Structure 1
Amino acid sequence: MTCLSAFHWVDASAGLFPQVRVNRGGFSCPVINMMRVITAILALCLSLCAAETCTDPAISPSSYTTTDALISSETVFIVELSLACANGAQSVALYADVNGKQFPVTRGQDVGKYQVSWSVPHKQASSGTYQVKFFDEESYSTLRKAQRNNEDVDAIKPLFSVNVDHRGAWSGPWVSTEVLAALIGILVYYLAYSTKSAIQA
């Protein structure tokens, strides 16, 4: 039953008043309309919150990279930062890009705190400076679209960037300790034998 067919007028002595019959679902049409309005308002609020942008970002970054290859199978990169926006935005969704690969950025419990991490095999983590580009939702959407269409992604400006210096991961000495100990033992034996031979001569 539609709202129009359920709608009729009744005489309430003082005049005609509209009355709505209950439809099959048990809800009157005004209730359904009200629910639709509330749903639309909630959807609008969610979209506005999700689209919160940051203007003139000020950041305080710090980074960590694996320096000892003996304790792990991969080199880990971690970037932590504090973000402050000139417009006071606090719920900014961020995405990170490193050498064409995107990683999700985790929002910390404290306002303005963010962290992103990734790992690569030691052989692929050469020493040097890695540029980490951070995008908001709008610029990240543009970046993904450019990648799908094989367009120039370098033309897309990130919200901000952070440089991470990686010195490389130490994989241990070139000569194992067992071999080094054997060489030292041979050297000591040779010196002792040479000294003994010189004394006997």
Structure 2
Amino acid sequence: MVANYLVVIFAIGLINGAFAESCQNPQVEAVSFTSLDATVVTHIAYITEFTLKCDNPMPENYALYAEVEGKSLTAARIGENKYQVSWTEEPAKARSGVHEVHILDEEGWASLRRARRSNPEAAVAPLLAIQLNHPGSYSGPWVNSEVLATVLSLLIAYTALRNKSKILA
């Protein structure tokens, strides 16, 4: 009877150990994309896809989480050891430059949430960090073509009327 309980406890310990296993010596290859034309979209999209390789074998459903500038995100699994993190911002709030994407495993994510309960500014060392460079978004020309055409037509009309009055006078 006691042996059965010990076997069950041992089995639960093995399962928990397998699920709580973290990535040893993470290596990442990342590709990033951003929306560049703010004239045709209502939000700027940021997307980073990465492949994670570890020295130890990873569990099949290895969950990863991301944090970008205080925003909590989930890393979506899109293939074997391949993940994607994406978010959007309004063009007025989107800033150009490097955005640091912190990737955390379940253990790191739980540590971050515990630390944030007592201090909202707390930070936890991420499993890895990916840098996403956003060069900025094109918001259109400084002067719209309609305004430029109106100004030019008024200038031409003024010049024509002025020259007409000089010729007739």
Query: Equivalent residue of 1:123, what SS?
Result: coil
Query: Equivalent residue of 1:181, what SS?
Result: helix
Q: CA deviation at 1:93?
A: 1.7
Tell me if structure 1 keeps the 8 A contact 2:19–2:59. no
Query: Equivalent residue of 1:153, what SS?
Result: coil
Tell me if structure 2 keeps the 8 A contact 1:90–1:112. no
Tell me if structure 2 keeps the 8 A contact 1:96–1:132. yes
* Residue matched to 2:24: 55
Amino acid across the alignment from 1:86? D
Aligned residues: 164
* Residue matched to 1:94: 64
Q: CA deviation at 1:38?
A: 7.3
> Cα distance 1:89–1:179, how it changes in 2: closer, same or farther (>3 A)?
same
* Residue matched to 1:75: 44
Distance 2:158 2:168 in 1: 15
Gaps of 5+ in 2: none
> Cα distance 1:45–1:108, how it changes in 2: closer, same or farther (>3 A)?
farther
1:162 corresponds, among 108, 124, 130, to 130
Q: Tell which structure's C-alpha radius of gyration is larger.
A: 1
2:108 corresponds, among 139, 156, 172, to 139
Q: CA deviation at 1:70?
A: 2.0
* Residue matched to 1:17: none
For residues 167-186 of structure 1, what are the alpha-carbon distances to aligned partners after superposition, in whole Å with 9 as ceiling and x for unaligned? 22222123222112112223
Q: CA deviation at 1:49?
A: 3.9
Distance 1:47 1:188 in 2: 80
* Residue matched to 1:25: none
Q: CA deviation at 1:147?
A: 0.2
> Cα distance 1:90–1:82, how it changes in 2: closer, same or farther (>3 A)?
farther
Distance 2:105 2:38 in 1: 34
Over aligned residues, Cα RMSD in angstroms?
Answer: 2.8
* Residue matched to 1:185: 153
Query: Equivalent residue of 2:22, what SS?
Result: coil
For residues 58-84 of structure 1, what are the alpha-carbon distances to aligned partners after superposition, in whole Å with 9 as ceiling and x for unaligned? 111111112111222111111101111
> Cα distance 1:48–1:198, how it changes in 2: closer, same or farther (>3 A)?
farther
For residues 103-150 of structure 1, what are the alpha-carbon distances to aligned partners after superposition, in whole Å with 9 as ceiling and x for unaligned? 0000112x1100011112222211121111111111111111000111
> Cα distance 1:71–1:39, how it changes in 2: closer, same or farther (>3 A)?
farther
Distance 2:18 2:149 in 1: 65
**TM-score, structure 2 as length reference:** 0.81
